[in-house]
Amino acid sequence: MAGTIEVNGRSVRRGSVVEAIRAGIAHVPEDRKGAGLVLTQSVLDNGSLPHLGAFSLGGWLRDGRRTEAVAEATTSVRLKSKGLNQLVGNLSGGNQQKVVLARWLTQNCSVLLLDEPTRGVDVGARGEIYGIVRRLAASGIAVILVSSDMPELIGLSHRVHVLRAGGIAGSLSRADLDAEDVQEKIFRFASGQEAVVRH
């Protein structure tokens, strides 16, 4: 795999979680239960997990500041819970996903990488998550969406890159995504039946 990562002119070493977080890169993994959350911990703990250093002073957690930041972030994603002390494992799938999203809003985020963000959530929660993603994009955050859900890709994206065999097989602009034959074109790119076209 080749290439470099730069965020706002700052080089980020590939594979370094610490550098990625410092650069403002946030990641919402496909497997929220296995890779995104600690189900036996509270909303507060999960919401602040990647940023404990920012909420600490002299090695001690500043719970007031941490609680305020997580409360504000969970309110912004309209989390439905019994409070910040509720165990994440007792939340619905949609609300668990909102906690994963909220954790990245407690600190400055420049790039949000969403990997199958609505997998395993109900229709109502899916619509709410779409609304959150649109608001974040409108606020200036660069959103990179990885999804196998065609309507999700078409509905949320300004541009779609179709990947095949480790490379970009084709790129579609917003105008392309509004065309009637867009799904057929995406399938053709993905199957290698159409030559690479970039806009």
Superfamily of domain 16-150: P-loop containing nucleotide triphosphate hydrolases (3.40.50.300)
Predicted pLDDT of residue 15:
87
Report pLDDT digits (tens) over 157-185: 999 999 999 899 999 999 999 999 999 99
Sequence ranges of the chain with CATH classification 3.40.50.300: 16-150
**Would you tell me the crossing angle of helices 63-76 and 93-103 to the nearest 10 degrees?**
120
Extract the tokens encoding 140.
Answer: 């200036």
Residue whose C-alpha is closest to residue 45's, from 88, 77, 79, 81 = 88
CA atoms within 13 A on the CB side of 60: 4
**Would you tell me the crossing angle of helices 123-138 and 93-103 to the nearest 10 degrees?**
20
Within 10 Å of residue 102's Cβ, how many Cβ atoms?
25
Predicted pLDDT of residue 2:
72
Phi, psi of 36 (to 5 degrees): -105, -20
Report pLDDT digits (tens) over 123-158: 999 999 999 999 999 999 999 999 999 999 999 999
Q: Which long-range contacts (CB under 8 A, 24 or more apart) does 17-24 make?
A: 21/50, 21/51, 23/110, 23/111, 24/107, 24/108, 24/109, 24/110, 24/111
Predicted pLDDT of residue 3:
82
